[in-house]
Amino acid sequence: MVITDPSQPDNPIVFCNEAFQKLTGYDQNEVLGRNCRFLQGPGTDRCSIDKIREAISRGESIAIELLNYRKDGSTFWNALYLSPVRNDDNSIQFFFASQLDVTNHIVAKDRAIAQREEIENEVAKRTGQLEAALEAKTLLLHEVDHRVKNNLTMIGSLLRLQSRTIGDPEITAKLEAMMERIDALATVHRTLYQSDDVTKFDVSAFAVTLAQDVVGSSGRSNILLATDLEPILIPAGHASSLGLVLNEILTNAIKHGLREGRAGILKLSGGSTANGAEIRIDDDGIGFSDEPSKGLGRMLVERLTKQTGATVEWSNLDPGTCVTIRLNDWN
């Protein structure tokens, strides 16, 4: 600690203790008669010095940490507490100050601040990188989606154009069936990418759209479409397979069950069940014969349902056909 005398010019030190001499490296006789500012150096914060000067001129006490220099030029952080000592008439007789070396404390604090800043910078940097990567991925996804759609559109166009040039009605019919499958896949893709969540696929919404498409374009105003379906969400990975299965069943109902322009009703119903979900497709057409069909359609239905863990059951109604697709616990 030091005591200074404000009544003398430049408020010189009139007393200093052992601890002060040890802390600063100066002898008592080297400091007596000098203003304390000799402890300051180029690294001392000017603002802190201003604050001390103002406190002294107002006759107030102040506690402040500032960088000081020892006699040997080394630095230390000084926790300075400075206070006026007043006499009976309340005028300031002396200033008293205690100095405490808080270098370790300050360095620790600085290090903590520096580390935090470093971490914050790192976090900001990584966040920026991730955001950029995400943006790139999103752009890429849109681009891929766009190209898939354009390619599907082109494939559809190519098949449609080709089918016009074929004279043989049997081949034309096969090509048309193929076109319908491509169309079904296109509808799957569109349904998927128009939804908010591209990982889930609502088979019910898809089935309705597809049925409308199939019935509508058959040009058969005598087929009535009745739908009563709750939303059924399945993983997007199964969307194409189930989409194709539904397409086979629906086109079969119209081309076979309601063949040769028969009037009829096509009914879609279903929703969640205890252990999965169920979709029923009923028509009141001619029903099916028991002999197993060798067509590609039936084979697609069998293979694709097996792949998605679903089952398909065909039963004869009187009149008509009922097809039940059971989706078992796909989670």
Partner 1 sequence: MERPKPPLSVLIVEDEPLLAMDVEMMVEDAGHRVMAEAASLYDVEALDPAQSPDIAFVDMQLARNTTGLQVCSLIQERWSNTIIIFVTANPKKIPDDFSGAHGVIPKPFSRHGFMNALRYLQESVCTPPPITALPGSFVPSEHLAATW
Minimal distance in Å, beta carbon 193 to partner 1? 9
Range 268-302 burial, b when 16+ CB lie within 10 A, else e: bbbeeeeebbbbbbbbbbbbbeeeeeeeebeebbe
Q: Does 23 help bind ligand FMN (rule: CB under 6 A)?
A: no
Q: How many residues bind partner 1 (CB under 8 A)?
A: 32
Binding mask 209-228 for ligand FMN (x = CB under 6 A): --------------------
C-alpha distance across the termini of the chain, in Å: 76
Minimal distance in Å, beta carbon 257 to partner 1? 18
d(CA 245, CA 243): 5
Among ligand FMN, partner 1, none, the one that 226 touches (CB under a kind-dependent 5 to 8 A) is none
Q: H-helix or E-strand containing 46? A: helix 46-58
Q: Does 82 help bind ligand FMN (rule: CB under 6 A)?
A: yes
Among ligand FMN, partner 1, none, the one that 186 touches (CB under a kind-dependent 5 to 8 A) is partner 1
3-state helix, strand, coil in the chain (%, to 5): 50, 25, 25
Look-up of token digits 């300031």: 92
CA 291, distance to chain mean position in Å, is 53
Q: Does 149 help bind partner 1 (rule: CB under 8 A)?
A: yes
φ, ψ at 313 (rounded to 5°): -125, 130
Minimal distance in Å, beta carbon 210 to partner 1? 8
Q: Which is nearer to ligand FMN, 49 or 178 (CB)?
A: 49
Interface contacts to partner 1, rule CB under 8 A: 142, 145-146, 149-150, 152-154, 156-158, 160-161, 164, 179-180, 182-184, 186-187, 189-190, 194, 208-209, 212-214, 216-217, 219
